[in-house]
Amino acid sequence: MTQNLPLAIALVVVGSFCFAMSAHLQHRAVDSHLEGNLHKTRMRWQDLLSTIRSPRWMLGLTFMGVSFALQTVALTMAPVSLVQPVGLLAFPWSIILAARATHHRLPKRVITAVVGTVGVTLAFTVVTALHAVDHSDLVVSRVAMGAGVVYAVAVTFALLGSGGPYRWRCMFWGSGGALFYGLEAALMKALIEFARANDWVRSPEFWGIVAALVAGAVAAGWFIQQGYATGPAEVVVGSMTVTSPIVAVVFGIAVLGEGANITPSAAVWMVLLGLLAVTGVGVLARYHPDGGRGARGDAVDARGSGSGAGATGRLS
């Protein structure tokens, strides 16, 4: 397919809603299975295997598949540095879905964080679109190096998600999963560009990228389920939909050569807007009404509650 930026953006908008629906359904399945997970401890493999048999979780997986398919088609028509940021719209979708499901009005701080984060990320998308390239360069050694850096940072986030402050655990897990998702989008774009220019069927480089993509997808799925287990889906989605575009944009610019048309002033705007978007998600994680579960978990641990110890033993 040739470049078609408007159609690519439209596909990702629809995909962002599917992604938010997936997160909403899977979070409810996980939260129901773990009975709220007061202590915000990570899931065991047994818990995950039991949860994924839920019809609600499987429906969420279907929505995830549709979102991935739409994103893949969009990547054949536009640079990854343009496609991935549009996925941030999953963030307000998830907030709306949660509010409707719980019949709660959103606090003003949360609404401000949502509006501000969406606004600056859409501005980021506009800046990127105005400087988009018509093709990506592919150097396999650079792809391998970039993927290695992302894997290392994602592992660090996983460690923070396992043992960091209660309030921030779901954000760490979501951000770790987002690192992989951002990498997945970049690797998919790399595969598309490689297949266009090479005999990919007999190429070890092509299948090496496929292997890295599959491994990242599995790790991302595990991280995101941990995020659903340790906090509200909206915070997890917010972490993912901000971190993932940043990873994809940086990878596209630094590894795939998509920054050829970016001017110094545009680069400054992209950095500033990216930082503002991350700040918005931080505000959401801090003031989201469900964040109080972490504080209650701290209080239970401080009292040395016997029932709390039992719950921790079951989930750790």
Q: Is the pLDDT reported for residue 92 higher than 70?
A: yes
Residue 237, class by beta-carbon neighbours within 10 Å (0-12 exposed, 13-18 middle, 19+ buried)? buried
Task: Give, as one character, the DSSP assignment of residue 231.
Answer: S
- Which tens digit of pLDDT belongs to each residue from 119-155? 887 788 788 777 777 666 777 888 888 888 988 999 8
pLDDT tier for residue 62 given thresholds of 50, 70 and 90: very high
Q: 268 or 234: which carries more pLDDT confidence?
A: 268
pTM beyond cutoff 0.75: no
Going by C-alpha positions, the residue among 47, 94, 68 that lies closest to residue 220 is: 68
Residue 278 to residue 258: CA distance in whole angstroms: 22
Average pLDDT, the chain: 76
Which pLDDT score is estimated for 301?
39
- Which tens digit of pLDDT belongs to each residue from 95-124? 778 777 777 777 787 788 778 877 887 788
Task: Give, as one character, the DSSP assignment of residue 38.
Answer: T
Residue 154 to residue 143: CA distance in whole angstroms: 16
Q: Is the pLDDT reported for residue 307 higher than 50?
A: no
Residue 35 to residue 106: CA distance in whole angstroms: 23
Q: Is the pLDDT reported for residue 167 higher than 80?
A: no
pLDDT tier for residue 248 given thresholds of 50, 70 and 90: confident
Which pLDDT score is estimated for 15?
92
Q: Is the pLDDT reported for residue 159 higher than 80?
A: yes
